[in-house]
Amino acid sequence: MRLLQLCTRFPPGGIQRHVIDLTLGLRARGNDVWIAGTRGAWMSEEIDPRFHHIDVHNVAGEGGSTPRRLWTAFRSGLALRKVLKAERIQLVHAHESAPALVAWVATRGLRVISSQMNPSGGSEITHKKRIPVFVTFHGAEPERISEFGKIARLCADLIITPSHNSARDLMTQGGVPESMVKVMGLGVQQKPRPPAEDVKKLRAELLDTEGKALIVTVARLAHQKAIDHLILAAKQALKVNPALRFVVVGDGPQREQAQHWLAEAGVSDAVRFIGHSDNAPLYMAAADLFFLPSRWESLPITIVEAFQQATPVLATDTAGVTELVDESVGAVVPIGDIEAMAAHLIALTSDRERLAALSEAALARAGHERFSPPHVQAAFEGLYAEWLGRK
């Protein structure tokens, strides 16, 4: 099959990781797969010769006024159309609404030559078929789900989401017919357990001389991830247990704001921002608890990565989080409930015996088939083949 994965842009992030891993997995299974979108740190022509730079980023909210964004979508769609013709792409899989709009412009009236074996034997049957467009919903703030639903209904033949709760939201809030929605897993590459000596050394460094429990967050410093809520929750929890230590791994557009929030809260001694790290699993392995206070998510990859390091999780109740986290591996609290966050931060880190049991259960959950990249990639390959009329 000749497929194209279309993303908005490629900074370090969960969606980008999923797109790249899916592409590489499908190629390993013998398919021709291209990637397109706005180039970034994780993807460019130098990194992958089958990457095409298309200005999709400026179709999204950062692109300015609505007329300007629509004009960018039209121009980007025409650029993508040339790629689809040149590479003879048979199916486009867009990730999020801006790429879906670009794909819709690119595929209008476009037909590609497709061939399949004659079921009665003999030579292949060749014919022209239109290019189907899939779009994956990776989560959005509640007020944006309706907008996403409108764009997806217009632009896509099938809407994919990794979470059953997100699928429900698309149908109830986004007005998407059930027949257009498909729940598909997110394969999460198994990260090796770091050497125990490295974990012990980092833990000692991050806890300093007075810290007793380490809480780690791996996230972009962006509105979605609610770093402001993390700081407020830490401030409350530290009043009860001053021996807690918080570490945030990641970078993003709110980097300067986060430092301001930290200074304002007066917790700089106990909360550290270390920026981007290529070794996030080491920080997760060193932690007693992984904390994700997001305002919205679909199915966070970082939670599964924390499980892989045998680290329990405290997260907010965003879409698919409850499909991952329960009382056996951590806790889930309401979005934006600072008091509940603080109370669970204290409770979960105070009981060492319970933490050990949660840790064991988290590691076991990481091995579930729904997180296996080969399993998920095979499922996507089967879905694409079904839509392209192949066995």
Region 55-72: mean pLDDT is 88
Region 321-325: mean pLDDT is 91
pLDDT for 242: 95
For the chain, the three-class secondary structure string (H helix, E strand, C coil) is: CEEEEEEEECCCCHHHHHHHHHHHHHHHCCCEEEEEEECECCECCCCCCCEEECCCHHHCHHHCCHHHHHHHHHHHHHHHHHHHHHHCCCEEEEECHHHHHHHHHHHCCCEEEEEEECCCCCCEEEEEEECCEEEECCCCCHHHHHHHHHHHHHHCCEEEECCHHHHHHHHHCCCCCHHHEEECCCCCCCCCCCCHHHHHHHHHHHHCCCCCEEEEEECCCCHHHCHHHHHHHHHHHHHHCCCEEEEEECCCCCHHHHHHHHHHHCCCCCEEEEECCCCHHHHHHHCCEEEECCCCCCCCHHHHHHHHCCCCEEEECCHHHHHCCCCCCEEEECCCCHHHHHHHHHHHHHCHHHHHHHHHHHHHHHCCHHHCHHHHHHHHHHHHHHHCCCC
pLDDT for 125: 53
Region 305-320: mean pLDDT is 93
pLDDT for 121: 60
Which CATH number belongs to the domain containing residue 173 in this structure?
3.40.50.2000
Per-residue pLDDT for 63 more than 90? Answer: no
pTM tops 0.85, yes or no: no
Per-residue pLDDT for 190 more than 60? Answer: yes
Specify whether 208 is located in the same domain as 338.
Answer: yes
Per-residue pLDDT for 114 more than 80? Answer: no
Specify whether 213 is located in the same domain as 111.
Answer: no
Structural domain for 76, as ranges: 2-187+372-387
Confidence of residue 109 (pLDDT cuts 50, 70, 90): confident
Specify whether 102 is located in the same domain as 127.
Answer: yes
Specify whether 59 is located in the same domain as 182.
Answer: yes
Specify whether 141 is located in the same domain as 250.
Answer: no
Specify whether 227 is located in the same domain as 319.
Answer: yes
Residue range 134-172, pLDDT digits in tens: 999 988 888 889 999 999 999 999 999 988 989 999 999
pLDDT for 120: 61
Specify whether 221 is located in the same domain as 179.
Answer: no
**Domains in the chain, number:** 2
Whole-number mean pLDDT of the chain? 91
Specify whether 310 is located in the same domain as 362.
Answer: yes
Per-residue pLDDT for 176 more than 60? Answer: yes
